[in-house]
Structure 1
Amino acid sequence: METMEVETRSAPAVAPGVWPVAWTAIVGGLGVLFASTTVAVAVEPLAGILGVPLSTVQWISTGYLLALAVVVPIVPWAQDRIGGRRLWIVGLAVFLVASLLAAVAWDAPSLIAFRALQGAAGGILMPMMATLVMQAAAGKGLGRVMAVVSMPAVLGPILGPALGGLVLDTLDRHWLFVVTVPFAVGGILMALRYLPKDEPTRPTRLDVVGFVLMALGLAGVLYGLSNASKEGGFGHPDVLAPLVAGVAAIALFSWRTLRRTEDPLIDLRLLRHGALSSSTVLLLLSGFALYGAMLLVPLYFQQLRGATALEAGLLLIPQGVGTLASRTVAVRLAEKVGARWVVLVGFVIVAVGTLPFLTATEHTSLVLISGFLLVRGLGLGAVTVLLMALAFEGLARDEVPHASVISRIGQQLGGSFGTAVLAVVLQSAVAAADTPADGFQVAFWWATGFTVAAVALSLLLPRRAV
């Protein structure tokens, strides 16, 4: 198997024709990210609008997440069968239909069902974003390309909550799902125009047993983690039982796949590449350090400062600005000194940007907090873009889909674990503390501790440029 040539010069060239593919992926990817983040702030209001308990309407988000996770492992096989261009268009078409159905849903069960369909489409599109662009990049200028392609992952968590709050304040619930339609339509039109036509590579057989094991494993783990905020935390049966079953299913899948010689559902042997394995481990850990803290910061604004969902989203904008600003600079530095040191410094900057929250109360200056959120965003941008690019370093074209799924699963599990752990920590700390502010400070100390651990693990990354 011939591996793609890896450029390690100070200014690696970018493959011709990669940018139209990248912008096509960005347009479609923004729809998927907004579908998740706009609804995240609307769960509690939707419970009142639909007249159902919060535990029921929570499935609007949980069902989306579980459906997305179940579909992700099948993407490499599907791309082999029908080709990347066709699979991307199919995913966007299903996402478009699901968005329109969710917009006209007549009650909570129908909305949950249509959101699950939307999540299944997202399970196709999320790993395909990286796959299409990395294959077009052909191993050249991966960091520079990923700095552009990672834009939806940056904009979604920042603009999504603000957009969701704005829709709820000015329109009605139906428009929460209509806002993603232009991205789906635009993504399909751009795919027809700019994505190169590719034929199926080979008629691989679907590993049905492996798919069932991995789907059940991911669904079990993510469902268990989604219940971690219940009383009892990780000891609650609704958390412990699915979590243990899910981990067991993933372990069995891994054991079986490593013994399989033909057509693995996910080629875990790719983890022998140091860049992929180390970046995946750090993406998983960054879920604690980065995404877990993304739960705490909006809650601090809403629960301690009395901000609305829209106001909390707007207060997060400085972090988004920092993230956008640092990505290109981080890539250029990595081209000169190597990704390892830039990622390490990035995690240090994230820790520094979290410092005010370690002592924050209801009266801490919002100007001070905004300034440090900008700093935190600078670190976030450097870390995420380089870890995502390193996952594809030195891989052949047919290995890229499997690497995309591996890194995506690592990122998703890390984010879910991080959110669940810090949610439990926050709940316990607030209950035990003298004031809610003291509880939040404890939770932010935990988030900072995970960030410090990530600093140490950054030394496992390869030294070479991206």
Structure 2
Amino acid sequence: MNTRTTTARSAGGTAPRDGQPGLYATAAVVVLGSLMSVVDTTVVTTALPSLARQFHAPLAQLQFVSSGYTLALATVIPVTAWGIARFGAKRLYLTALVVFALGSALAGLAWDLPSLVAFRVVQGLGGGLLMPVGMTLVIRAAGGERTGRAMSLMGIPVLIGPLAGPPLGGWLVDTASWHWAFFVNLPVAAVAVPLAARLLASERPTGAGRLDITGLLLLSPGLALLVYGLSRHGAPLPTVAGAALTAWFARHALRAERPLLDLRLLAQRRFAAAVGAQVLFVAAYFGSMILLPLYYQGLRGFTPTHAGLLGVPQALATGITMQLSGRLADRVPAGRIVPVGIGLAATGFLAFTLQVTADVPVGHLQLAQVVMGVGVGLTMMPNLAGATREVAPAQVPMAATTLNILQQVAATAGTALLGVLLAAAAGAGPGAVPDADGFRHTYGWAVALMAAALLPALLLPRGRRDGPRGVTDQAGPSQT
């Protein structure tokens, strides 16, 4: 038995064997499911102005279409590691696909804004499991020496989703109706579910022990109240209550034997640095996604289809760079890649922000977006690959779960913060759109968050070293 197989099995994983799918078969299934989730996010973002008109909703309320989804993602992700051990990764992944498809169908049938937000939460419960469970499946199939390549494969949805989602969303809204921004997921799910049932490796659940009910009852409502408070202009009661419950969860997690999230991982300085950089970067990048279609459609007057096409150069730059950087991360330490990526992304973001007016040539804005896209591609996957290398093999599922939930919380908080700032600039009336100064002010906060991510990124490892517990940097974490 070789070293990789021994390490994988000692971590509770399964090495590839005859009759089991390899990396590319597993990745194909996982990428399809993740693609459905990413495309959904970008399609819905493009459709937001149409939803505002359909439901006569101001921006302050409309943002719940996005934040309700991401909040549901954040609240369900903590049970991922427990769910994998209790039910098996394949079964949990199939469940996630079905729940996401059900939420999509219901959202397309929504009759008012509250019902749409409620059905987006159902979508989020399925979508929240897709990425962490899929990441576990791909890492298991990858083996230690192909971690960077596995992360680059996981980045394919980030290439295709933002590339296809905005034009697709615009075309669906222009030629059909807003309902198809959600119904579009159903044919993809119809392909993904049978493929997952056929191609993913079956496994025997390892036994999860007792679920940390105390942690779940503290963390989920704590996150919900915190994000709700932020989205309501910092409403003091829910914000303080959410922060208190979240802090109580942190105290509980540091003392419990089997916590819902093992926050003790953050005591590892380099893992904490990767988490800090990822959280700040994600808050800025994904939080700002709500702004672009509102700027192009609301202030510039472009159609949804035209506005979607204007996002293609940035998405293409991100996706191509991400595929290259994922493979580069197998040979070059994260500390030599990620700070460069953050610096480029922040520079592109700043150049875009300074040019935002009601009549600037879109080519000037797209050039800044391409620089931003290259920076994003150099940041996201190398940082994730570097983070998983900083923990022992047996800790990878919990580390992936921790990273995913903190990312989703950051995306939700960033969306809420920037949505509130933009709504304040626009005024309270339904369909009100801020002027160019309002957009520049709001984008300025995103630039500041992105620049702040550079500080923890400078603490990432810059040299080759032995990995945790004898796993080398070259091998990265073994299968889990």
Q: TM-score, normalised by structure 2?
A: 0.83
- Of 397, 402, 411, the match for 2:407: 411
Tell me the equivalent position of 1:138. 143
In the alignment, does 2:266 pair up with 1:266? no
Distance across 1 between alignment mates of 2:203 and 2:135: 16
CA RMSD between the two structures = 2.9
Is the 2:149–2:330 contact (alpha carbons within 8 Å) kept by the matching residues of 1?
A: no
Tell me the equivalent position of 2:88. 83
Is the 2:73–2:408 contact (alpha carbons within 8 Å) kept by the matching residues of 1?
A: no
Alpha-carbon offset, residue 223 of structure 1 = 2.0
Residue by residue over 1:244-283, the C-alpha shift from the partner in whole angstroms, topping out at 9 and shown as x without a partner, is 222211111111111112x321222222344432211111
Residue by residue over 1:366-389, the C-alpha shift from the partner in whole angstroms, topping out at 9 and shown as x without a partner, is 222212211211111110111222
In the alignment, does 2:76 pair up with 1:71? yes
Higher deviation after alignment, 418-427 or 63-72 = 418-427
Residue by residue over 1:189-246, the C-alpha shift from the partner in whole angstroms, topping out at 9 and shown as x without a partner, is 221222111111124111111111111112122222333xxxxx33xx2xx3222222
Tell me the equivalent position of 1:348. 343
In the alignment, does 2:456 pair up with 1:450? no
The aligned amino acid for 2:278 is L
Distance across 1 between alignment mates of 2:60 and 2:359: 33
Tell me the equivalent position of 1:242. 238
Say if 1:104 and 1:439 are closer, same or farther in 2 by CA, change over 3 A: closer
Say if 1:216 and 1:157 are closer, same or farther in 2 by CA, change over 3 A: farther
- Of 126, 129, 135, the match for 1:121: 126
- Of 212, 216, 231, the match for 2:217: 212
Secondary structure of the structure 2 residue equivalent to 1:199: coil
Tell me the equivalent position of 2:460. 461
In the alignment, does 2:104 pair up with 1:99? yes
Residue by residue over 1:84-130, the C-alpha shift from the partner in whole angstroms, topping out at 9 and shown as x without a partner, is 11111111122223333334455655544433222211122232121
Say if 1:222 and 1:150 are closer, same or farther in 2 by CA, change over 3 A: farther
Is the 1:352–1:376 contact (alpha carbons within 8 Å) kept by the matching residues of 2?
A: yes
Is the 1:217–1:245 contact (alpha carbons within 8 Å) kept by the matching residues of 2?
A: yes
Q: How does 1:2-401 map to 2 (within 5 A)?
A: 17-46=22-51, 48-49=53-54, 59-105=64-110, 110-227=115-232, 233-234=233-234, 237=235, 240-261=236-257, 263-354=258-349, 355-401=351-397
Would you say how many aligned residue pairs link Structure 1 and Structure 2? 443
Secondary structure of the structure 1 residue equivalent to 2:461: coil
Is the 2:322–2:378 contact (alpha carbons within 8 Å) kept by the matching residues of 1?
A: yes
Alpha-carbon offset, residue 60 of structure 1 = 4.2
Secondary structure of the structure 2 residue equivalent to 1:95: helix
The aligned amino acid for 2:385 is A
Distance across 1 between alignment mates of 2:284 and 2:72: 25
Q: What are structure 2's unaligned runs of at least 5 residues?
A: 1-5, 10-19, 428-433, 465-472
Q: What are structure 1's unaligned runs of at least 5 residues?
A: 6-14, 228-232
The aligned amino acid for 2:259 is P
Distance across 2 between alignment mates of 1:69 and 1:333: 30
Distance across 1 between alignment mates of 2:225 and 2:193: 33
Secondary structure of the structure 1 residue equivalent to 2:144: coil
Distance across 2 between alignment mates of 1:167 and 1:410: 32
The aligned amino acid for 2:400 is S
Say if 1:27 and 1:63 are closer, same or farther in 2 by CA, change over 3 A: same
More relative contact order, 1 or 2 (CA 8 Å, 6+ apart): 2
Is the 1:4–1:395 contact (alpha carbons within 8 Å) kept by the matching residues of 2?
A: no
Over the matched positions of the two proteins, sequence identity in percent amounts to 39
